[in-house]
Amino acid sequence: MCDERQDDWSRVMEIRVNGALNDLPAADAQYHTKCYSTFRKIPIDSTKSDSCKPCVDDSLKCVISHMKANMSVTWTVAELYNIYTENAGHITRKQMLLYLTEYFGEEIVVLHLEGCSCVVGFRKFFGKTLKLVKLSETSDVDDDVDRLVRRVKAEVRNIPLHRDYDLNIFQYENTIQDTSPTLLAFVSSLVSNGETSKPSLALSQCIQQHVNKSTNQTSLGLAVKLHHKYGSSDLVSILNQHGILASYDEVLRFRKSAAKYASENSDVYHRALGLERRMGPIFSWCDDYDLIVFTANGRRATHAMVTELTQHPAAGTVLPASATPVLCI
C-alpha cells in the first residue's frame, strides 16, 4: 500500500513498519480501524509531495531496504553504489545519492569530505563509525565545479566596482586586473590554449558581469563603441538582453560621466590615453559637428564635440604598455 500511495503518509508508515531494529512491536498493539481504512483508500487526485519521490527501480529499493535493516551503520556512497549495481541498477552514483536523500529527508546525514567519498548514515546513529575511501575517477558530487564557482565568486567580490568612469581603467592591463584570474585562466584554456587573448578576456568579463551584476570594461566599452559607430540603441538593447553588453541607459550615463571626467582632468587627460610628453610633441584638435541620420524609424539629429589627440614619438622611443588604451572617447 505504501508503494501505491507514494506520499508523505506512506513514507512515514513504511519507515515505522521497517524501522524495528530488534524486537517486533508490542503484541498487544491495537489497530485504529478508521485510520487503517482511510489509509487503504488511495485518492485518485492524490498529490505526491516533492520530498517523497517514488523509487526509480527495484535496485534502489534494495539499497533502501539494506539501509533500513542496518540503521546503526554508516556507509560510503561507493559501498551503497556497489549494492545498487549488484542488484542490476543503471543510474549514476550521483543520481542514486540524490534519490536517497530525497527519500529519507532529514533522517540521514551526508558528510562531504574533500578528496574522499561521501559518508552516509542515519542521523540518530551517525558518528559511531566513519569510513574514508579514496575517490575514483568519478565523484559523488561535482566538487571540482563547486570549488571553481566558489573561488570565482570570491575573486569577483574582491574586485572594486568603478562608478566614476575614470578613463584609466579602460586600458588592457587594468582590464585584466579587474577580471577574476581563475575565470580568465579557465576561459583562456578553453578558447586560446591558455594564453590571455581578446576573446578570452571579453568572454570572461561577459560572464563576470552576471556574477556581480555590474558592468565592466568589456560590456560597457563594446556597447559605447557600437553605439558610437552605428548610432543604434536597438542594437545595444538586443545584445544587452542576451547578456553580452551593458544597457543603453548605462551607455548614456557613461558618455556623460566620461565627459565630466575629461573636463575635470584636462591637465592629465593625455596620460589616460597613453600619451607621454617625453616621447615627443602632442598634437590636439577639437571641432563640433552636426550629424543627421534618416532611417525608417524617422529622422535623428545630434550635435557633438570631437577631440583627437595624436603623438609622433621620436625615433628610437620605446612606447610604454599603457600607450594602447582599450577605449578612447
Q: What is the pLDDT of residues 98-111, one digit of tens each?
A: 888 888 887 888 88
Does one domain contain both 272 and 174? yes
In whole angstroms, what is the distance from residue 143 CA to residue 114 CA? 8
SS (H, E, C) 171-218: EHHHHHHCCCHHHHHHHHHHHCCCCCCHHHHHHHHHHHHHHHCCCCHH
C-alpha separations of 108 from 66, 127, 316 in Å? 14, 12, 73
Contact 85, 96 (CB under 8 A): no
Contact 113, 132 (CB under 8 A): yes
Does one domain contain both 159 and 244? yes
User: Does the pLDDT of residue 139 top 50, yes or no?
Assistant: yes
Q: How many domains does the chain divide into?
A: 3
User: Does the pLDDT of residue 142 top 70, yes or no?
Assistant: no
Question: Is residue 328 very low, low, confident or very high in pLDDT (cuts 50, 70, 90)?
Answer: very low
Domain membership of residue 41 as a residue range: 1-49
In whole angstroms, what is the distance from residue 5 CA to residue 14 CA? 11
Choosing from 141, 169, 191, the residue where a domain stops is 141
Choosing from 141, 163, 188, the residue where a domain stops is 141
User: Does the pLDDT of residue 50 top 50, yes or no?
Assistant: no
Task: Provide Rg for the chain, Cα atoms.
Answer: 32
The answer, as to whether pTM is greater than 0.85, is no
User: Does the pLDDT of residue 183 top 90, yes or no?
Assistant: yes
Cell numbers linked to 175: 582590464
In a domain, 329, yes or no: no
Q: DSSP assignment, residue 10?
A: H
User: Does the pLDDT of residue 49 top 70, yes or no?
Assistant: no
Question: Is residue 318 very low, low, confident or very high in pLDDT (cuts 50, 70, 90)?
Answer: low
Does one domain contain both 33 and 127? no
Per-residue pLDDT, 190: 92
Question: Is residue 188 very low, low, confident or very high in pLDDT (cuts 50, 70, 90)?
Answer: very high
Question: Is residue 182 very low, low, confident or very high in pLDDT (cuts 50, 70, 90)?
Answer: very high
Percent of the chain whose predicted confidence (pLDDT) is above 70: 72
Q: Which of 46-50, 159-163, 230-234 has the highest mean pLDDT?
A: 230-234
In a domain, 96, yes or no: yes
Choosing from 12, 33, 49, the residue where a domain stops is 49
In a domain, 328, yes or no: no
